[in-house]
Structures are given as structure tokens and as C-alpha cells.
Amino acid sequence: MNANLVRQLQDSVLAVWFEGWVPGQAVSGNLMKKWFGKDEAFDNRLRTVVPDTIQRGFWKTHTRYFEHWKSHIGFHQNSKPDPQARIVARHAFENGYEDKLHPVHRAWLYMPLEHSEDKVDQALSVMKFQQLAEESSDTYKELFESFSKYAQDHKAVIDRFGRYPHRNKILDRKSTLEEEEFMKDHNGW
């Protein structure tokens, strides 16, 4: 693929995902709501940009974001994460690439591990998010402490059930009675 085209795709997708955020500044509450909530205008903008990048293969090198983008562009929100995202994350760890990323970008590299149903991935997710929180500047400390807590919460569910019960229906898995009880009070994240 043409290097200029790759750069244009990268810039267009990341401009939407990180719109309004400048490295060194705190991540706004509005951006957090877009990332983790439901914002139809934001989702529609991603729907116009992301499919083109998927079609052109951009996601293969930016899976740290793609795994989370899927829920914004109409993929099943509770579906199993893309294993390619975990492979890319592990490759980044093994080759020192994560250290070259801004801490906010690094957090997105860790998300596929948090969304994994693998206990090893969960332990690594908790470790990476805790490390990020411990090493962060005051600007990002609250954000990364929150991410670290969510990683611990995700791990607790996997430790308890070995899977995310809220994915059972979409993945055509039968829920246990304990999982059904759990889901009465916990509908996922």
C-alpha cells in the first residue's frame, strides 16, 4: 500500500478518535464519554472512516484501537475481541514499541488484553495498567488509576467465571445459574 495513503488513513482515523486531545493535556470527560459511552454523531463519524481503513488493511497495524472501534461502528459490542489485537500488543511489548508510545496511546495497546478471556492476558493487563498509573504524570494519574481499576474488575470476572458472562448470548454460550445471577446486577462495562 502507498505510504502516503497509509498516513492519510492513519491521520483521518486517529483525528476522529483523539479529536480535541493534545498530548500533554488531560483527556476531557467528553472524549472519555465518546470512547466508552454512546455518542451517535461520534459513532457515525467512525463508521465513515473506519470501514475504509479496514478494507485497506490499516487495522492490521493499529489493532490497539480497532478492537474498541468495532463497538462504535456496529459490530456486536459483546463479541469476542479480535485475537490479532492481542498479537500486536504482545509484539509491541516484546520489541519495546510500547515505550515509544505516548501513555494515552499505550493504554489503548493494553485494552485488547483487558477484553480477553485468557487469564494470562488478564494478569498482563492488570500489570500494565498498574504500571501506567504508577508511572504517570499528575496530568494522567486519575485517568490511568481508573483504567487500572477497570482492568482489575475485568480480571475479577475472568477469575470468577473464566469468561465474560455478558458475552454468552451473542456467542451462543449457555449461562450458568451463577452467571445469570451475576448479570442481574452487572451488565458489562
pLDDT of residue 91: 84
Length of the chain: 189
Position 72 pLDDT exceeds 50: no
| Contacts made by residues 141-147, CB under 8 angstroms, sequence distance 24+ | 143/26, 143/27, 143/32, 143/104, 143/107, 144/103, 144/107, 147/107, 147/110
pLDDT of residue 128: 96
Domains identified in the chain and CATH numbers: 3-185 (1.25.40.10)
pLDDT of residue 9: 64
Position 117 pLDDT exceeds 50: yes
Position 166 pLDDT exceeds 80: yes
Comparing 76 with 21, the larger pLDDT belongs to: 21
Q: Provide mean pLDDT across the span 4-8.
A: 63
Tens digits of residue pLDDT in 96-107: 888 888 999 899
Q: Provide mean pLDDT across the span 141-161.
A: 97
Position 76 pLDDT exceeds 80: no
- Encoded amino acid at 141, one letter: K
Measured between alpha carbons, how far is 60 from 151 in angstroms, rounded to an integer?
24
pTM: 0.79
